[in-house]
Structure 1
Amino acid sequence: MEAGVKEAGRLVDLWNKWGIQILVLISFTLQVFLLIFGGVRRRSSSNALKFFLWSAYLLADSTAIYTLGHLSVDDQSNEHELVAFWAPFLLMHLGGPDNITAYALEDNTLWLRHLQTLAVQVLGAAYVIYRYVAGTATLLLLASISMFVAGFLKYGERIWALKCGNIGSITVSKFKPDPCQLLSMGTSEEEILLGAHSQFDICKGAFADIIMLPNPSLLSRSKPRSVVSYMGEDLFKLVEMELSLMYDFLYTKKAVIHTWYGFCIHFISLLGTATTFLLFQIIIGSNRGDGYSRVDVVISYMLLVGALVLEIISVCRALLSTWTCSVLHRRGKAWEWPLHVITSFSRRVHPASRRLWSGSIGQYNLFHLCTRNRNEIGTRLAMKLGLQEWWNKKHFSGTFSRTSSLSIQDLKKLVLQALQDKDRALQDKDTDLDSRGSFILKSMEAYDDFARWSVNIHFDESILVWHTATELYLRKSKAKHANDLTEAAEVLSNYMMFLLVVKPDMLPGAARCNVHLASCEQIEGQCHMCFGDKENPVAASPVSWQPYCILKEFFHHDGPNPSRIPLREKLAEMVWSFSQFALGTVKAPQPHGESIRDNANMYAVLLADELLGIESRWHEQRDPLELILGVWVEMLLYAARHCSQESHARQLSNGGEFITIVSLLAHHFKYYSGASRGIGNLSKNNMMSENKPISENDENLV
């Protein structure tokens, strides 16, 4: 006991003597961590990475604020006189690195709170300098003032970036994007990235809910077919890069850096940091430097060198970025030589490839969930803590990137083809962009009773019914299906179910993430009625207490996988058999009428029976899976078009979502074809003229 008290006393003494030094080093370390890893989440949705970034983002501000406050109230001994010199560095730390200003979209709306914090912390730093540095050597005072100005500007730059990162602050240029620019560029990734910059206003208009329509002269020169035929699947790269630029706009300082005042801030900040470093060198080299603590001198050098290196990296990133290339490209031939220098360097580091989407989509299967082992430690613990729904979402969801017969590129082709088909039909005034499956059903002459209601009920219930029907059809069908067609239908079905359960805010309408629970409970109840405890596909297996199995369960996603397909087949057969007696008694529900989620399984069986009937009528002339796949693609397009823009924006900080890419691709088609009536950029609060060639934003660019 006494030994523990003595050890605690030593720790207290250590903290009292070196607490400020420790906090300052922690603050600097957090800045380095954010600089290195702050931009990784653009392409990654790792939960571990998000946790560490979130922790570092919050700790960076709180540590700097606490340390600055501690400096303003503590009396410093002559030995630790340099400690007060660190106050301006903490202001610079509060400014944060350029590649992360906001962790979440909501942080941008708190810019006024940060502005108030700026006022308080600037006054605190000024007080520390006045109280502890003003009466010392003149050179140290000059070095502190120089660093104070740099820190003040960096913190102010961050707050201005937060203000500009609001969706409500997004404005588009009066100089509308010209699709013909894409036709004049190459198809390398660097050239596509420049094209993404030239078409970026379409992306900004989509997120700001501004209707973007090209000038009549552009409509006469460019059609979607010409752009699509030239770029093909590269259109997805264009859209992915535009979303990456939007991430920069919302979550980093890019909206401020590439303006004339942003350039001035960087120049002054670098100059101030370099001046501080030179002045400190002179101070340490003089006799005056012998009176400082050696530890404090070392920490001061670490802060100075670190700040100088971070500023040099920031300036180089700003000057050599593709944002600068885009500005120089618009300036014309007079700026060709610096543009050539920057692009030559960029080709060596390949910045364009880092702006592409990671290429994986979420998966969630209702039948896979129903076959879970309820005796697993994680499941039992979640039930005890009341976190079963959260555990099911996190643990039983998976991802898909590719298999031997299907890849994300194949899914992109399906979406692109569906958009082209709809665009052609729209020109003939024969379709509705808001169809949720009726277009493909009508085109394949399958828009009869049950098929009609299944795409006109509540959207979340429509997803649930079609998901279950797809699973039942795949297990009951006797026809020979192509592997890629089977996998594509199943992957899109699981993806829409993933959005419904895990990310319901990405779907239109009310976010009813628990709409599937009634179906799951019905299936499990039917299993107990049919099988009892013997050969029950949803019966709990014996619990495993092996450490390896427990760790694997907690840290491994048990998403849809081939290992449980036999159980899913057995489950599908049971659901089918259990519902057969009701096929002739259940009537089709009224579109958008009463909820059917309590009887979703029954309606799914009816729909699956209808699909099997279509299979028998077509006699292998066509595959019903083409119909199912077409419905899923249409549902994806519908959800992409009607998802709120804030939901799309939030997902940009979590690695992005396929549905967001599809949404922006649809906006490009709409813009290129001039599908809506009227000419010009329209919004609820603003009617912009189309006569001015350059916007106010363009005039501020470097």
Structure 2
Amino acid sequence: MACSNVGSPTYCKSSTVLSLSLSNLFSFQFEESPLTVIETSEEAFSLISVELNFIYEVLYTKVVVVHSRVGYVFRFLSFSAVLVALLLFNSFEKRIKLHHIDVGITYMLLLGAIGLDTIAFFKLIFSDWTVISLKEKKKKSWIYGIFERYLKLKRPSCFTSSPYCLDWARRIFFRRWSESVSSFNLIDYCLKERPKLNKVIDCGDTVWLKVIDTFGLRDFRDKMKYVSSKPLDKKLWEFIFEELKKKSKVANDPETAKRICSARGYWVLQDIPWNSDSTTLMPYVSDVDYDQSLLLWHIATEICYNNDNAKGRKDDNIKFSKTLSDYMLYLLVMQPTMMSSIAGIGQIRFRDTCAEAKRFFSRSELKQREEQSEACKRIHEVNTDVRPVAVKGDRSKSVLFDASILAKELDNKFKGKKWELMSAVWVELLSYAANHCRANTHAQLLSKGGELVTFVWLSMAHFGIGEQFQISKGHARAELIVGK
């Protein structure tokens, strides 16, 4: 397989796979969905990377002008003008008495301009647009071979096994998106934000937070302190891809496709492999709002993760669940604009849950060495025979101890199948978010390096299970409607 689908037969078979209608800002037309042809997750990932790169360049750069004849002419004139200015200055500066500092600064500016133009020229040549132009020619030239080798450098790092130093250089100069997954953990956040035992330190922290709030920097501070990121794992993407592919195979009619799009856990729970006990989990996905469900499953995942880690369990599904759990909470809390259409009162629920968790942790004596696992153990051990809502009433939107009940259900009734089920539920929660977030918010994230949720969104569109993509019977085409 070529390292990028830009020049691959599958991509070129659908050379109009992606067309952007700028009059509608963000309108896709898929003439022939290539993911119905592509079998491997790597090919799909490479293809979507290229498509998102095209979208980014059209929306955020001058690529439409640069790749036109007028653009070529103006770029040549611009470079020529700077080069002539450099030659003229070089010939006259010795005749005219100028201060050596002024001469140095002028040379620096002119050479810098030439350097920037040269870099822009090479980026223009070695671009996906150029590869497509070469591919459209009937005969392959030796130039195309050079481009194919260059495209290997743009291959996603999760599918490469190059030495660390080469991979590091490739990430800086050749990657198409951030290639990372952010994470934010509620338990970790609450443990570090809870009141300190030392009253002086606690008072100082309170004053500092009030100062930060005055300048509106609380979110920035939380992002810098509590959000981390790690490279996207190849196995995680393969798992997500296979889950979406499996759903696409049963979406044979619009009604089924619509049900898959609106599922946020119940499709997984009603699947054949699970026993009848899965119905006990339905209230945690279908009888609650999306933001409430996400918080419930996040805390339950963290409790189960720390309990099983203490027992030394190793399983890919554990890693998948943990990564997606922290990533989805990051989207809910740190990307509120993107999640605004589905988050509901997610921010209020998060704050109330954090407040209850901080109070609970402050009353508990936790071991410093294993604080997080100890905290999860304490939550898990809380007596929940009486439903939390009967104790606290409706005023608090906290889901802390409801999540404890969910964790106990998972531990007691699913055991060996627990992590397989949880990882599948998390993919469904991710798919729901990807499918119901507005198209323009996906576009905005491209300017910040891109997000995994956007890859999932475009994958669903290719598979024909995207709610925002309407299929016309007269043409094999799916069109994204911006307003939805």
Deviations 1:294-348 (A, max 9, x none): 5545544444444344334433432343322222322443xx44xx325416626
Q: Deviations over 1:38-66 (max 9, x none)?
A: xxxxxxxxxxxxxxxxxxxxxxxxxxxxx
Letter paired with 1:325: V
Q: Which amino acid aligns with 1:451?
A: M
Map of 2:55 onto structure 1: 246
Question: For residue 262 of structure 1, what is the aligned residue in structure 2?
Answer: 71
SS of 2:260's equivalent?
coil
Give the aligned residue type for 2:337: D
Q: Distance in 1 between matches of 2:465 and 2:25?
A: 15
Counterpart-to-counterpart distance in 1, 2:285 and 2:390: 14
Change (3 A) 1:345 1:213: closer
SS of residue in 2 equivalent to 1:290: coil
Alignment pair present for 1:433 and 2:261: yes
Instruction: Indicate the SS of the match to 2:357.
Output: helix
Q: For residues 504 and 496 of structure 1, do their structure 2 counterparts lie closer, same or farther at Cα, with a shift above 3 Å needed?
A: same
1:524 corresponds in structure 2 to 358
For 1:671 and 1:584, the matched residues in 2 are separated by 37
**Deviation for aligned residue 1:261:** 1.1
Change (3 A) 1:290 1:575: closer
The CA deviation string for residues 240-279 of structure 1, in whole angstroms up to 9 with x for no partner, is 2332333333333323211111111112222333343444
- Structure 2 residue 316 is the aligned partner of structure 1 residue 484: yes
Give me the whole-angstrom Cα distance separating, in 2, the residues matched to 1:574 and 1:684.
47
Residue 451 of structure 1 corresponds to 282
Q: Determine the structure 1 residue equivalent to 2:456.
A: 662
Q: Does 1:398 align with 2:228?
A: yes
Deviates more, 1:323-332 or 1:191-200: 191-200
Select the residue among 29, 49, 52 that pairs with 1:212: 29
User: Which runs of structure 2 are paired with 1:11-22 in the superposition (5 Å)?
Assistant: none
Out of 585, 592, 603, which is 2:402 matched to? 603
RMSD of aligned C-alpha atoms? 3.9
TM-score by length of 2: 0.76
In structure 2, distance between residues paired with 1:256 and 1:264: 11
Give the 5 Å matches for 1:685-696. none
Quick one: which amino acid aligns to residue 648 of structure 1?
A: H
Residue identity matched to 2:249: R
Structure 2 unmatched runs, 5+:
156-173
Tell me which amino acid in the other structure corresponds to 2:342: G
Partner residue of 1:344 out of 146, 150, 159? 146
Task: State the 1:521 CA deviation.
Answer: 1.4
Q: Deviations over 1:19-39 (max 9, x none)?
A: xxxxxxxxxxxxxxxxxxxxx
Aligned to 2:238: 413
Contact kept, 8 Å, 1:465 with 1:603, in 2: the verdict is yes
1:435 CA displacement: 0.8
- For 1:22-421, list aligned pairs within 5 A: 187-190=1-4, 192=6, 201-202=17-18, 204=20, 208-210=25-27, 212-214=29-31, 218=32, 224=36, 226-228=37-39, 231-281=40-90, 283-284=92-93, 289-290=95-96, 295-333=101-139, 336-337=140-141, 340-341=142-143, 343-344=145-146, 347=149, 351-353=153-155, 354-372=174-192, 374-375=195-196, 379=205, 382-387=208-213, 390-401=220-231, 408-421=233-246
Q: What amino acid is the match of 1:516?
A: F
Contact 1:239–1:665 under 8 Å retained in 2: yes
The answer (yes or no) to whether the contact 1:202–1:667 under 8 Å persists in 2 is no
Cα shift readout 1:427-460 (whole Å, capped 9, x = no counterpart): 2664422211111011035552552353442221
1:662 Cα deviation from its structure 2 partner: 1.5
Would the alpha carbon gap of residues 205 and 569 (structure 1) be closer, same or farther in structure 2, given more than 3 Å must change? farther
SS of the aligned residue for 1:432 comes to: helix
Mapped to 2, the partners of 1:604 and 1:469 lie a distance apart of: 5
Secondary structure, in 3 states, of the residue corresponding to 2:117?
helix
Aligned-partner SS, 2:75: helix
Could you tell me which amino acid in structure 2 is paired with residue 359 of structure 1? E
Structure 1 residues 204, 415: closer, same or farther in 2, change over 3 A?
farther
After TM superposition, the structure 1 stretch with the greater mean CA deviation from structure 2, 366-375 or 340-349, is 340-349
Asked if structure 1 preserves the Cα contact closer than 8 Å seen for 2:131 and 2:147, the reply is no
Of the three residues 370, 378, 399, the one matched with 1:574 is: 378
Give the conservation status (yes or no) of the 8 Å contact 2:333–2:347.
Answer: yes
Conservation of the 8 A alpha-carbon contact between 2:181 and 2:451: yes
Moved more, 631-640 or 378-387: 378-387
Distance (whole Å) between structure 1 residues aligned to residue 147 and residue 85 of structure 2: 31
Please tell me the residue identity of whatever aligns with 1:461.
Q
Q: Distance in 1 between matches of 2:247 and 2:61?
A: 37
CA distance in 2 between counterparts of 1:328 and 1:303 reads: 35
Contact 2:186 2:299 in 1 (8 A): yes
Cα distance in 2, alignment partners of residues 489 and 208 from structure 1: 35
Q: CA deviation at 1:358?
A: 4.2
Amino acid at match of 1:649: A
The answer to whether the 8 A contact 2:7-2:132 is kept is no
- 1:644 aligned onto 2:438: yes
Deviation at 1:292, TM superposition (A): 5.3
Cα separation, partners in 2 of 1:267 and 1:223, compared to 1, 3 Å: closer
Aligned AA (1:260): R
> Residues 35 and 462 of structure 2 are in contact (CA less than 8 Å); yes or no, is this contact kept in structure 1?
no
Q: Is the 8 A contact 2:290 2:343 kept in 1?
A: no
Q: Structure 1 residues 480 and 390 mapped into 2: Cα distance closer, same or farther (>3 Å)?
A: same
Q: Give the 3-state SS of the residue equivalent to 2:229 in structure 1.
A: strand
Aligned residues: 438
Q: Distance in 1 between matches of 2:359 and 2:138?
A: 70
**Given the superposition, is the C-alpha separation of residues 597 and 189 from structure 1 closer, same or farther in structure 2, using an over 3 Å criterion?**
farther
Cα distance between partner residues in 2 of 1:595 and 1:256: 57
Q: Answer yes or no: is 1:630 the counterpart of 2:456.
A: no
CA distance 1:261–1:602, shift in 2 (3 Å): same
Taking structure 1 as the reference length, the TM-score comes to 0.54
Larger radius of gyration: 1
Q: CA deviation at 1:416?
A: 0.6
Q: CA deviation at 1:209?
A: 4.2
CA contact (8 A) 2:219 2:334 kept: no
Contact 1:320 1:346 in 2 (8 A): no
Cα distance, 1:296–1:567 mapped onto 2, change above 3 Å: closer
1:526 aligned partner, one-letter code: F
Deviation at 1:425, TM superposition (A): 1.6
Match of residue 162 from structure 1: none
Q: In the alignment, which of 292, 296, 302 is matched to residue 461 of structure 1?
A: 292
The correspondence of residues 531-570 of structure 1 with structure 2, limited to 5 A, is 531=364, 535-536=365-366, 566-570=370-374
1:662 alignment partner AA: V
Contact kept? 1:450, 1:606, Cα under 8 Å:
no
